[in-house]
Structure 1
Amino acid sequence: MGNALELHDLKKAYRGQGVLRGATLSIPEGRLALYLGANGAGKTTTMRLVAGLERADAGSVTLLGGPPRPELRHQLALTLEEPRFYPWLSGLDNLRVVAGYRQIRGADRWARESLRRVGLDAAAHRPFRSYSLGMRQRLYLASSLVPELRLLLLDEPTNGLDVEGREAIWDTLTELRDGGVSLLVSTHQILDAERYAEHLAVLHDGRISFCGPYAELAAQRRLMVETPNPEAAQAALAQHGLRAEPGRQRGQLLAVDLAGRPAQQVLGLLSSAGVPVGTSRPEDLEELYWRLKNVDASRMA
């Protein structure tokens, strides 16, 4: 299995302000990959460069095994920002328009099937202007489900949606993945990564600080230990070659790098050293994300 998407040292600046500073990542075919980063980190810029809406200042993009080329327009789809359709037309008629300019055969059949796949078949004849935000986002997704689709890029597709709307979008994305479509979904919602990501790319300061299977990232989690004497705990662990530092929330929370050891063994070392320990838990993804922001991207890409 090859890669659906590769970025090689991609750079882009606006008015001298660098947005992407050498982003490198690879997304395997048939995976649902999340592109995680704060608002303004450069996720939308990346999507626009991949889709050919803008040109990079340096670096290269590889799509579906080769350089970007015109024939890929039938295999690649992109959703960006707020969905825009003709407000007075129904959802069905808007998709018929999309079918026209994308030269999709059997436009009516495709439009109806796409609405069904995103759960909008009951609202097919309602005007777009009457759609809720969640329905608009689902219609936008429906417009991307071209017959020959192989790679789908989505920029914050669940932003601003309620729980029901978010679930509907993710259900459709998971179904697409199961059907063999490769997906890159940008988000600033860390919990989405925990629930849906198979592959993850983390963007910070214009560079990719991590790119790989989600399980590989999860394996880097440290053990968060609550203790009233963190200095004694650090000293005791250091004697066994284990590094520990105050957690992001400071106070009595200590973050311990397990270095491949079982958590219970590390807790046992503290107990043997007479260091009192309260609760302990694995580092959560948000804590790990903030730690990755300080990692040298050249070592992680």
Structure 2
Amino acid sequence: MNTNEHDDVIEVTDLRRVYGADFEAVRGVTFSVGRGELFALLGTNGAGKTSTVELLEGLAPPAGGRVRVLGHDPYEQRAAVRPRIGVMLQEGGFPSELTVAETVRMWAGCTSGARPTARALDLVGLTRRSRVRVKQLSGGEKRRLDLALALLGRPEVLFLDEPTTGLDAEGRRETWELVRELRDTGTTVLLTTHYLEEAEQLADRLAVLHEGRIAASGTPAEVTASQPSRISFELPAGYFLGDLPPLGTLGVTDHETAGRTVRLRTDELQRTATRLLRWAQDEQVELRGLDVRSASLEEAFLRIARDASGADGVSGTGSRAEAGSDDRDTGATTEKEAVA
């Protein structure tokens, strides 16, 4: 990553967007993205994610606040910004009768300094499909074509809206690797995704939107660290929950049982695990099914959304990562649901 806090490529300050007479979809959002940084925007249903990204892309003027991309207002100074950015929308509209190569060549004719068609197709693994008509492509292949067009102009800033939707596991991993390579060579990337693993794997920093405001932000590790870690195990034969050391002395903040299985939550994972294992050693018993893990981004996302939804305003950190792909969607998808 080539990030400098004094070299922000994207600057968003108190950004607002209003639909109709009074529906405020974006309500005072502030964040920045440094040069060569990969920043992920996640969001709950109707969070304002798509509305925010459209303002960054210069597709509409904000109702309030300030946005700068590469030092320019992307709406008022679109001519200065557009040649330097690449945009991958949730769904592209291509002439169905054109071949893949013809589509890229057509797009290249409207792009300054476009990559050669063969290179663009090679980047996204579509070389062997270059003569296939667009209408014959699978959903995942169409997403690859979307990405190829977004990369044609060698953008300094790349907006990726749900880039791996429809891809199989191998295609998703290949796309991740390409995005990492772009980031490592200095491209600034703003990513929206409903795959929480994707954000966890790729993002240098992220923000979780909820009802038009930022509910949590930071590195993936910082966001997940706001949630308790988990330890689960089976009670040894002849032992009961009360036979364990007092849970407070273990650093346990919450617990539950299911039959012989005990699940502990703690903000001090190392301390809790060490003391629990020392107890088992002293008792000369085995903790079968022992599972020790930090909170996942999915757990953090779900908790943030739950906490934010239970408050009149949005506060706190943690969250449920979007999961809907559009501010106007009514559904939300976690990583497990997306893969299922």
Question: Where on the TM-score scale, by shorter chain, does this alignment land: which range?
Answer: 0.7 to 0.9
Match of 1:185 among 185, 188, 191: 191
Q: Give me the identity figure in percent.
A: 32
Alignment size in residue pairs: 291
Are the equivalent residues in 1 in contact too, given 2:225–2:295 (CA < 8 A)? no
Q: 2:14 aligned with 1:5, yes or no?
A: no
TM-score using structure 1 length: 0.81
Closer, same or farther: CA 142–230 of 1 in aligned 2, 3 Å: farther
Calculate the aligned-residue CA RMSD, in Å: 3.3
TM-score using structure 2 length: 0.73
- SS of residue matched to 1:101: coil
Q: 2:210 aligned with 1:204, yes or no?
A: yes
Are the equivalent residues in 2 in contact too, given 1:44–1:80 (CA < 8 A)? no
Consecutive unaligned residues of structure 2, counting only runs of 5 or more, are 318-340
Name the stretch that deviates more: 64-73 or 139-148: 64-73
CA distance in 2, matches of 1:223, 1:232: 22
Residue number in structure 1 paired with 2:134: 128
Are the equivalent residues in 2 in contact too, given 1:39–1:188 (CA < 8 A)? no
Residue number in structure 1 paired with 2:98: 89
Match of 2:267 among 232, 253, 257: 257
Superposed CA deviations along residues 101-126 of structure 1, whole A, max 9, x for unmatched, are: 22x34x6x622211111111121122
The CA deviation at 1:232 is 11
CA distance in 1, matches of 2:242, 2:188: 47
Q: 2:103 aligned with 1:101, yes or no?
A: no
Give the letter for the 1:74 counterpart.
P
CA distance in 2, matches of 1:75, 1:81: 20
CA distance in 2, matches of 1:255, 1:214: 20
Q: 2:190 aligned with 1:158, yes or no?
A: no
Closer, same or farther: CA 167–53 of 1 in aligned 2, 3 Å: same
Superposed CA deviations along residues 112-169 of structure 1, whole A, max 9, x for unmatched, are: 2111111111211221111111111111111111334111011111123322332232
CA distance in 2, matches of 1:188, 1:172: 19
Q: 2:89 aligned with 1:80, yes or no?
A: yes
The CA deviation at 1:220 is 3.3
Are the equivalent residues in 2 in contact too, given 1:3–1:26 (CA < 8 A)? yes
Give the letter for the 1:192 counterpart.
E
Give the letter for the 2:49 counterpart.
K
- SS of residue matched to 1:137: helix
Closer, same or farther: CA 254–261 of 1 in aligned 2, 3 Å: closer
Consecutive unaligned residues of structure 1, counting only runs of 5 or more, are none
Name the stretch that deviates more: 51-60 or 11-20: 11-20
Give the letter for the 1:95 counterpart.
V
Are the equivalent residues in 1 in contact too, given 2:72–2:81 (CA < 8 A)? no
CA distance in 1, matches of 2:196, 2:245: 29
CA distance in 2, matches of 1:26, 1:217: 17
Superposed CA deviations along residues 75-114 of structure 1, whole A, max 9, x for unmatched, are: 1111212121111111111111112222x34x6x622211
